[in-house]
Amino acid sequence: MAAISASGVGLSWRSKLSQRPSSSSSSSYGSSRSSHRRVSSTIKMTVSVEKKNFTLQKSEEIFNAAKDLMPGGVNSPVRAFKSVGGQPIVIDSVKGSHMWDVDGNEYIDYVGSWGPAIIGHADDEVLAALAETMKKGTSFGAPCVLENVLAEMVISAVPSIEMVRFVNSGTEACMGVLRLARAFTGRQKIIKFEGCYHGHADPFLVKAGSGVATLGLPDSPGVPKAATSDTLTSPYNDLQTVKDLFETHKGEIAAVILEPVVGNSGFIAPKPEFLNALRQITKENGALLIFDEVMTGFRLSYGGAQEYFGITPDLTTLGKIIGGGLPVGAYGGRREIMEMVAPAGPMYQAGTLSGNPLAMTAGIHTLKRLKEPGCYQYLDRITGELIQGILDVGKRAGHEMCGGYINGMFGFFFTGGPVYSFEDAKKSDTAKFARFYRGMLEEGVYFAPSQFEAGFTSLAHTSEDIQWTIAAAEKVFRKI
């Protein structure tokens, strides 16, 4: 079949899937993409000049006005800085690995819009492609060829995905995949893990992580008991509880859903045997295994956590990176399961903005960049330097700490650890984290405003960014 040109994306689409790319390619990224990794001299911090006085006056004025307009002054709870105290910052612009607030303060950013900015903020190639795509319109509410292009990229990359459905957020993806698991198995109950966050749909707001953990909220008011009566929970990394649940509810469990690496109650990696055992337990009991890779997808490796660990689930949810910073989500899996989804099958799910051309374009160019040799080796190197440096200076200053990372995802806790579950994470000194957080903000470093959120690096972060951050951390550790 002849290639079909996809305007604004600089590549063509063919009906046959190409061979799945490997994420373990040679580490030539540093030389081949150095211009994309480096932040322009006009936006980089320089230690040689006198540091600007840190003030949040304009942020305070804007946030105070926002509290009369929006609940809590924000459109997502963690942004209100409730767990770290003080004045939230209002962002004005971002570029590469840096961000600027409305008061003119500059920060090295380790949030990256909660993960999608893996090639750096406001990447020039992505912006150029979006500008071309926008000339044709921003939303069609109808099929476009860009959906085919991104779908084939996702299918060729992620081991478990043979068919994919695009949606508009991670929450939507998890809602859809839960309905699909129940439709395919004919069962109702699901197992989720304490501290894992799968969006704010009713069935998942049971012992959830993310903002629910950050704010110390119980199961949310407004969620009917009937909506969560089929949600079973287990501590993360606890195989015995999972086995007991399958024994107690024999033949009733549709699926086990989890973040293969937890990012929503801090960075928590699975024990070596955990994911393999879950794969075996679900197969033995006729249940589906679902990996929520909204955070880990295309971040731990090009094929996500499932490629990194060598475990293939039945279904996968994606988000963040596959929209390159624009609102997007997806769920996918084995063809026989996905063909249950309307209009191919009877399980209904729809969305007017799903597969919109702007999100597809940004996603295509982001994934295209991540296929280049050496990307994940570079992320592994700089993230390792960052987390080891922070832990070293923290411990030297007398603080009890632990932490870890995998490629472009990391986290640290103010506790001796080890941290294998949300219960372990809750032993952290959150008051100390809040002091550390505010100190780092004043030094020009932006982490997630919660002890219970993972951090992210990008291809735009430089060695200078990392060294600045470690030096700032050493300074703050001595003060707190």
Could you give the residue numbers annotated as active site?
197, 292, 320
At 351, give phi and psi (nearest 5°).
-175, 120
Nearest to 385 by CA among 468, 261, 329: 468
**Cβ–Cβ < 8 Å for 234, 194:** yes
**Cβ–Cβ < 8 Å for 174, 182:** no
Tell me how long the chain is.
480
Cα separation, 212 vs 372, whole angstroms? 37
